[in-house]
Structure 1
Amino acid sequence: MPSISCPSPVRFRRTQRQHSFSTSSLSYNRYSGKFVPAFHSTTVSVSNQSDAMKFSTVISSVALTSLLQPALAYPGMANVVSEIKARQNTNNDGDSNPEMIGDLATTGPTTPVGQSIYNILMGTESAETKQAGYIPPLIGTNACKRDTCCIWAYIAAELTLNFKGITGRCNKNARAAIRLGFHDAGTWSKSSNGGGADGSIALSGTEINKAENNGLQDIIGKMITWQKRYGVGMADLIQFAAIHAVVTCPLGPRIRFFVGRKDSKTANDVSLLPGVNDSADKLIALFQDKTITPHELAALLGAHTTSQQFFVDTTRAGAPQDSTPGVWDTRFYNQTTSDQVPKKVFRFASDVVLAKDPRMSDEWAAFADPVKGQNHWNEDYATAYTRLSLLGVNNINNLTECSKVLPWAQPKFPDAWNLFLDQ
Structure 2
Amino acid sequence: MSFSRLSTLVALALAATQLVSAAVPKRVTCADGNVTANKACCALFPIVATIQEQLFDGAECGEEAHSALRLSFHDAIGFSIHGGKGGGADGSILAFNETETAFHANGGIDDITAGQFPVFQATGLTAGDFVHLAAAVGTANCPGAPRLQFMFGRPPPKAPAPDLTVPEPTDSVTAILARFADAGFNPQEVVALLSSHTIAAADVIDTSIPGTPFDSTVGTFDTQVFLEVLLKGTSFPDAGNTSHPGEVLSPLRGEMRLQSDFAISQDPRTACLWQEMINDQTRMQTQFKAAMAKLQVLGQDTRKLIDCSDVVPVPAPFKGPITFPASFSQKDVQQACRQIRFPSISTVAGPAPTLAPVPGS
Partner of 2:105: 212
CA distance in 1, matches of 2:321, 2:60: 9
CA distance in 2, matches of 1:262, 1:178: 20
Q: State the TM-score, normalized to the length of structure 2.
A: 0.72
The answer on whether the counterparts of 1:251 and 1:328 sit within 8 Å (CA) in structure 2 is yes
1:396 to 290, 294, 302: 302
1:248 to 109, 116, 141: 141
CA distance in 2, matches of 1:421, 1:375: 28
Q: For residues 173-188 of structure 1, what are the structure 2 equivalents within 5 Å?
A: 173-188=64-79
The answer on whether the counterparts of 1:163 and 1:170 sit within 8 Å (CA) in structure 2 is no
Q: Secondary structure in 1 aligned to 2:167?
A: coil
Q: State the TM-score, normalized to the length of structure 1.
A: 0.62
CA distance in 2, matches of 1:138, 1:412: 30
Q: Secondary structure in 2 aligned to 1:283?
A: helix
The answer on whether the counterparts of 2:212 and 2:356 sit within 8 Å (CA) in structure 1 is no
Unmatched 5+ stretches in structure 2: 1-19, 234-250, 324-352
TM-aligned CA distance change 1:298 to 1:317, over 3 Å: same
Identity within the alignment, %: 29
Q: For residues 350-361 of structure 1, what are the structure 2 equivalents within 5 Å?
A: 350-361=260-271
How big is the shift at 1:219?
1.9
Partner of 1:50: none
The answer on whether the counterparts of 1:305 and 1:331 sit within 8 Å (CA) in structure 2 is yes
Partner of 2:277: 367
2:44 to 152, 156, 160: 152
The answer on whether the counterparts of 1:251 and 1:327 sit within 8 Å (CA) in structure 2 is yes
The answer on whether the counterparts of 1:324 and 1:420 sit within 8 Å (CA) in structure 2 is no
How big is the shift at 1:420?
4.8
How big is the shift at 1:366?
1.1
How big is the shift at 1:391?
1.2
CA distance in 2, matches of 1:268, 1:329: 31
The aligned amino acid for 2:118 is: T
Partner of 2:290: 383
TM-aligned CA distance change 1:282 to 1:214, over 3 Å: same
Q: Secondary structure in 1 aligned to 2:116?
A: helix
Count of paired positions: 286
Deviation track 1:257-287 (CA, whole Å, cap 9, x = no partner) reads 1111122141111301001111111111111
Q: Secondary structure in 1 aligned to 2:139?
A: helix
User: What is the aligned-residue RMSD (CA, Å)?
Assistant: 3.0
How big is the shift at 1:320?
0.9
TM-aligned CA distance change 1:156 to 1:189, over 3 Å: same
Deviation track 1:381-422 (CA, whole Å, cap 9, x = no partner) reads 0000111111111x2111101111111121135899996584
The answer on whether the counterparts of 1:132 and 1:404 sit within 8 Å (CA) in structure 2 is no
Partner of 2:31: 137
The answer on whether the counterparts of 2:212 and 2:358 sit within 8 Å (CA) in structure 1 is no
How big is the shift at 1:312?
1.2
TM-aligned CA distance change 1:207 to 1:358, over 3 Å: same
Partner of 2:341: none
The aligned amino acid for 1:410 is: A
How big is the shift at 1:190?
2.3
Larger-Rg structure: 2
Unmatched 5+ stretches in structure 1: 1-80, 86-130
The aligned amino acid for 2:67 is: A
The aligned amino acid for 1:211 is: H
